[in-house]
Structure 1
């Protein structure tokens, strides 16, 4: 049985190590997972009631068009209902974009250290990924623009960037979009947008009316705390969204996901509270890293990428033994780990464990 030749050596996506597995393997009673950028403060209190109301419909297929959620979200963003598409997480929207637009031999431009799903989906469709080095941990938009050629179908910009947490400003993004050829898609992944407090940050949705080749991705997995319900969305011009919808599988989001998202998106107080607590957590961690003499990238999402001055895989294992799960494995940054900003208690326990490892009181592997 012969598969597509381009997937033979394709790496399988490795999610953050599960809490249950670590407890079982190491015999630990408490494990803190700071590896997958989940919201440590949970989800809106409105979600439970919304899900309980859907239990009576558990035998029914979900609304394939997510009509009620679309109506609420269109009002929230001030866009047309025909400008929105939903997916099983925003990573499914990435896969659908690749499926809809890429043919073998097409080229797509992205950073060399960014969300890996862009490249893996391009690989599946036989497209060629042009990877441009980050500049100070940030997208080098001028260098990315220079790589756009006749075969380029799409450019990916993760803002804030995963894993570095850096942003490009509104002025930088607008200058870039002004120079990108109109036949090249620009996919702006704003999965962590709701966490950003920097006034220089761009609101991609506000740019859609000016740039018909722009698609903005958002998700309910991060600040809204609905990671297990797998629901994300894309916003773009109606004609572009229609093309992506043509390759979407029916019923790709659940009744529970739709109901929870609809309840969450209008709870502005919960989002604001999480944003404030996350900013406080970033300030605490930055202060601790400064005290420990560790450098880090400016964090604008709900995670920080920090240089621990030792092979990241070793630090991962040493922290794991103390019940702290972080994220290593960034080829361009072999001594960096990515750590999710947790609750105040979780952050303090992470720093205590990190300091023990760095001081040598806990042996590295």
Structure 2
């Protein structure tokens, strides 16, 4: 069997360690997972109730077009339903887009470091990947523009960026959009949109869709909505473009349970507002810790924080793992001396910070 050559040196995505595995490995009873930017408060009670009320429907295939969720989300966003593309999480939407547009001889432009799946999927399609280093955690948009040529198909902007948590402000984005050629698809990945949306200079990208037919926005129900286990991501864009790439989408790629829960979750914006506020308070806990110990970090507009410990991120990761906290080493994320920590509850943050403080004090002695 002749497997694509580009797959031979490509590693599968490595998620954070599962809780049960860590319990067995280290003989621990209590594990706190703060590695995958999940909502520590779970999801809306309305979503849970909706799923309970539909238990008897699980034997039936889902609506392949996600009609109910499509109509409700379109109204929530102020767009037409034909402007939406649903996926089995944003990862699936990224896969659909790269399959539709990328091939050998084509190239794609992205920041470095940023979300790994842009590059991963591009490599699978045999396209050239052009990476531009971040500047103080943010996209070097001018540098990215310089990488565009006639063979460029996609340019990726992750805002807020994973893993740094920094976003591209409205003025910078407007200047950037005006300079990107019309043949290039501009993808704004806004997986952490809800955490940054209230910032005064955070761009209202949905309002720009009419002016830029080559703009596509990615969002998800996995982060703020707390439905990561049900895998519902989506794209918002030009109806004609969405229609053209729809054939790549698998027939039932958004499952029945996910559609039911996401639709109900949209009705509980108070849950989102409360979580966003708690997340801000949690970030302040980590900022205070960093400042007390003179650790550098990026002010984050997501539900996570990247902290530079000036030592191996793998070592910090293992120190916490042995004590029941799962975080994400910055090593595979492009920041080898850092650790990315999901903001947890006030109590979880306090316990984690106490462990980190103990670690740093022991290193001084």
Coarse TM-score class (shorter-chain normalised): over 0.9
Tell me how far apart the structure 2 counterparts of residues 17 and 111 of structure 1 sit (CA, whole Å).
Answer: 26
Tell me how far apart the structure 1 counterparts of residues 304 and 202 of structure 2 sit (CA, whole Å).
Answer: 17
What is residue 19 of structure 2 aligned with on the other side? 19
Tell me how far apart the structure 2 counterparts of residues 103 and 276 of structure 1 sit (CA, whole Å).
Answer: 43
CA contact 1:134–1:140 (8 Å) conserved in 2: yes
Tell me how far apart the structure 2 counterparts of residues 167 and 318 of structure 1 sit (CA, whole Å).
Answer: 30
CA contact 1:157–1:187 (8 Å) conserved in 2: yes
Cα shift readout 1:107-164 (whole Å, capped 9, x = no counterpart): 0000110000000000111111100000011101011011111110010000000001
Cα shift readout 1:5-31 (whole Å, capped 9, x = no counterpart): 111111111001111111110001111
CA contact 2:310–2:338 (8 Å) conserved in 1: yes
Tell me how far apart the structure 2 counterparts of residues 267 and 206 of structure 1 sit (CA, whole Å).
Answer: 23
CA contact 1:62–1:254 (8 Å) conserved in 2: yes
Taking a change above 3 Å as real, the CA distance of residues 280 and 108 of structure 1, as seen in their structure-2 partners, is same
CA contact 1:318–1:362 (8 Å) conserved in 2: no
Cα drift, residue 333 of structure 1: 1.9
Tell me how far apart the structure 2 counterparts of residues 300 and 78 of structure 1 sit (CA, whole Å).
Answer: 24
CA contact 1:185–1:215 (8 Å) conserved in 2: yes
Segments of 5+ residues of structure 1 without an aligned counterpart are none
Q: Aligned with 2:53: secondary structure?
A: helix
What is residue 268 of structure 2 aligned with on the other side? 267
Residues 168-247 of structure 1 mapped to structure 2, 5 A cutoff:
168-196=168-196, 197-247=198-248
What is residue 257 of structure 1 aligned with on the other side? 258
CA contact 1:54–1:255 (8 Å) conserved in 2: no
CA contact 1:319–1:357 (8 Å) conserved in 2: no
Structure 2 residue 116 is matched with structure 1 residue 119: no
Cα drift, residue 186 of structure 1: 0.4
What is residue 336 of structure 1 aligned with on the other side? 338
Cα shift readout 1:52-109 (whole Å, capped 9, x = no counterpart): 1221211110000000100000000111110001000011000000011111121000
Tell me how far apart the structure 2 counterparts of residues 330 and 62 of structure 1 sit (CA, whole Å).
Answer: 36
What is residue 310 of structure 1 aligned with on the other side? 311
Tell me how far apart the structure 2 counterparts of residues 287 and 233 of structure 1 sit (CA, whole Å).
Answer: 35
What is residue 28 of structure 1 aligned with on the other side? 28
Cα shift readout 1:227-274 (whole Å, capped 9, x = no counterpart): 000010001000111122111010111111000000011211111000
Tell me how far apart the structure 2 counterparts of residues 19 and 9 of structure 1 sit (CA, whole Å).
Answer: 29
CA contact 1:113–1:330 (8 Å) conserved in 2: no
CA contact 2:163–2:333 (8 Å) conserved in 1: no
Structure 2 residue 157 is matched with structure 1 residue 157: yes
Cα shift readout 1:260-296 (whole Å, capped 9, x = no counterpart): 0000112111110001000111111101111111110
Moved more, 14-23 or 203-212: 203-212
Cα drift, residue 198 of structure 1: 2.1
Q: Aligned with 2:229: secondary structure?
A: helix
What is residue 128 of structure 1 aligned with on the other side? 128
Tell me how far apart the structure 2 counterparts of residues 309 and 190 of structure 1 sit (CA, whole Å).
Answer: 29
Instruction: Provide the TM-score with structure 2 as the length reference.
Output: 0.97
Cα shift readout 1:163-206 (whole Å, capped 9, x = no counterpart): 01111101111110011001100010000000114211112212
Tell me how far apart the structure 2 counterparts of residues 362 and 72 of structure 1 sit (CA, whole Å).
Answer: 55
Q: Aligned with 1:246: secondary structure?
A: helix
What is residue 95 of structure 2 aligned with on the other side? 95
Cα drift, residue 332 of structure 1: 3.6
Identify the match of residue 352 of structure 2 among 342, 345, 350: 350
Equivalent pairs counted in the alignment come to 363
Tell me how far apart the structure 1 counterparts of residues 59 and 309 of structure 2 sit (CA, whole Å).
Answer: 50
Tell me how far apart the structure 2 counterparts of residues 14 and 149 of structure 1 sit (CA, whole Å).
Answer: 32
CA contact 1:330–1:336 (8 Å) conserved in 2: no
